[in-house]
A and B are shown apart, each in its own frame.
Chain A
């Protein structure tokens, strides 16, 4: 209490931020939580129905289908999206021509700046069976017929994973490059004196020094994996919906298209719960709190 009085000016300055979070984050969150227990009507009374909405969601096979899709697509993005930026950062770190390094960095970073509307539209066009560049190349290389990447179930999930990784690889790579720059050069020098070659330097100096960055990147990705929506909304179509519709598409369908707000909020809170569980499990697995 004494501290509050002593630093009251600082606490006062914090008030707008606390108010912001209370009004725009926690209040809607709590309202949503309440709604998830109600039979929602746009106007008039909204009777409480206990866990009915949750039961309805959990009994809905469409929810479990989208949940499975989310885990498969999200898990793949998490795994491949974790390895690729590290590999890219390590490769770029080995490049001596700085102009080339800067150009590559810029080119791989660019997709991160565009919204999914742009990136998704671009990939749909590039993967088109008749005029898309990917199929043109495949045909030039001797493929028998064009592939409907965006309309065949077998390719649907890999395409989503690939494009998601492609879009974010540059951004995450820059985080690793920044971490690599801050590694103490004397560690490399000591290793070289001990007879380490370039591979040894990467394996025994660079990678261990990147572990804390890896943990942060992994945690950030884990927390957002179940929230995936924009990409799927832009890139899905009726032919592949069954394989790529994720859990947030389910809440969108229930809430906005069908106005079943009770079910939509219940599904939303199940996502939050699942995110919490997954995050805690990953924290324990990677020993996030340990140095």
Chain B
């Protein structure tokens, strides 16, 4: 150990030097405070023995200066003093001294004090190294978090339509990562899919599960899969990748403006509240399913609840973090405080902000203990498009070529699978007519649902004319589909390129869609005439197809349809 002695008394310093040298220490000596600081700078000793009364700069000042020089390192300073009055000793400690040694020097005590200081110095060094290590880890973690956060934001908010005019949302993650997943996207038919998911726990581990779900949500919604199929795929994914103790309480909603209906699936989230024009709760959509990622789903588990949507309806959904948010006293915000906002005394427009306001006041400076999310759907604005319009998938058209695809679906398949996404995705992968996905989707959706609903299931199209009838229609459809035993739908799509008469280039194409079902057919002349000018709830199917297609004919008993859709290649 290198020891600096600062003492103007040469006899003292000589004695000390000898004692220390005998114990194997390297010694450097200074004779006043100024020199002491200089030598300290130059020699960088491990310990300092400091006299108090010295010319130029006294021991207190020199000690202060030295301690300033080594702010990050522990260099013990032991004062050498002849006095033992309390005040001088206090001054020693105040000046940054770590101990004192009274003259005349006793070798044993000197040794003991140096050993003790050495132990403290080592401990200090160890602490410092650990602190640096922690800081390095912290830094590394911070960087990894930032990368993760970027990825998370890109994946989870890719094409997110939370700026849809009918949505109001607020989410407050407890840490950098949000374990609450809030996503929305339009399907090709213009329906809005919304999902709120709340993963077990919070932070990174919860957010990791959110990423595959967000991807499934966007991808399958864009491809035209139904909510039931989204639920099925998400559940299967979570079971496959998540540990048993992790799951995701979730709610999926489809806002169908055309049918003026809401489809809801609630697995494990608190009651979803639907309010009327006065802001009173008129309906609660309670959780009737297990959360996602717990067990395989039955047919029943995938079923949606369907309700009529009225313009005055507002739908509120939230994660349990809202009602469980604690204040400084450890009390929870609670259901009663939340429900007090739905007393019918408040303009429903303000309920959302009022809830957040009262939550803020209640929480005060209390730490957040979970992720919190609140979402409102304003049904009066369900038909409005987002400011930037509905983003379309960018798909690159392939040059028009002749092709033909045929499908045949039997009852067993139709019971379990919606053929529509399969058909539309086949067309998109062969030809990908840019900008035509939504129109083709609508045409095929109408043709297929006519064949299935009316042809095979014998449902009455007139039922769909009123909103309540539509719900009844939907429920009957589910029931009949579940017990359907026979029947088929055959579909073929034949594409012919359209050739320019001037230069022979292929400028577009015509897709001939032929559909046949095993049902008894219908009197198409009657239905068609009835549909003139009908823009009500249901039954518009045929009119809609006619408006998008260049031809539409029914054949046979009315169980064969043929439509032609034309597109231009750019």
Task: Answer whether A and B are interacting partners.
Answer: no
